[in-house]
Amino acid sequence: MSMDTVGRILGLDVGEARTGAAVSDPLGIVATPLETIQMQSTDADIDAVARIIEETGAIGIVVGLPLNQDGKEGPQAKKVQDFIAQLRGRIQIEIATQDERFTSAIAQRTLRDSNVRGKDRKKYIDQIAAQQILQTYLDRRANLRKSRP
């Protein structure tokens, strides 16, 4: 199934220690923070993503790609690409990437402005970053649809 179809989309902010997850509404308009996956091993991490896909009924995944300031892929982007390749080997839904530059800074600011402190901020930062990644993708997709004749 294509992500151009109506359905929930899962957003991931993949990190070495934690991965944030967010999910869209069924119409693919609004992204909402969902949960944080504590990264363990590739198999366990992919199992966690598969569980979320099943629970949410997601029809696609958007993974944040951490590009360098110049827009090129660096070592962290390579790690994320490797994770995506492993995910594609086990998950049978479409996977897209989204530039995630500045999403962590936006997530930090969002939590700070909401007066979320210390340990709680660390608990939610990855989910908020995943929400930002997914919302950027959803907004870009909506704008593309509007520009088509």
For the cut 90, the answer to whether the pLDDT of residue 57 exceeds it is yes
- Whole-number percent of the chain with pLDDT over 90: 57
| Confidence (pLDDT) at 67 | 82
Which 3 state secondary structure label does DSSP give 133? helix
Which 3 state secondary structure label does DSSP give 76? helix
For the cut 90, the answer to whether the pLDDT of residue 56 exceeds it is yes
Please give the mean pLDDT across all residues of the chain: 85
| Confidence (pLDDT) at 147 | 67
| Confidence (pLDDT) at 75 | 85
The alpha carbon of 50 is separated from its chain's Cα centroid by a whole number of angstroms, namely: 14
pTM value is 0.85
Q: Which domains does the chain have, with CATH numbers?
A: 9-144 (3.30.420.140)
The residue assigned the tokens 């693919």 is 28
pLDDT in tens, 127-146: 989 999 999 999 988 777 66
Of 62, 93, 92, whose CA–CA distance to 80 is shortest? 62
| Confidence (pLDDT) at 60 | 96
Of 45, 31, 36, 16, whose CA–CA distance to 122 is shortest? 36
Q: Which residue has the higher pLDDT, 8 or 75?
A: 8
pLDDT in tens, 72-115: 888 888 999 999 999 999 999 999 999 886 666 555 666 566 66
| Confidence (pLDDT) at 131 | 94
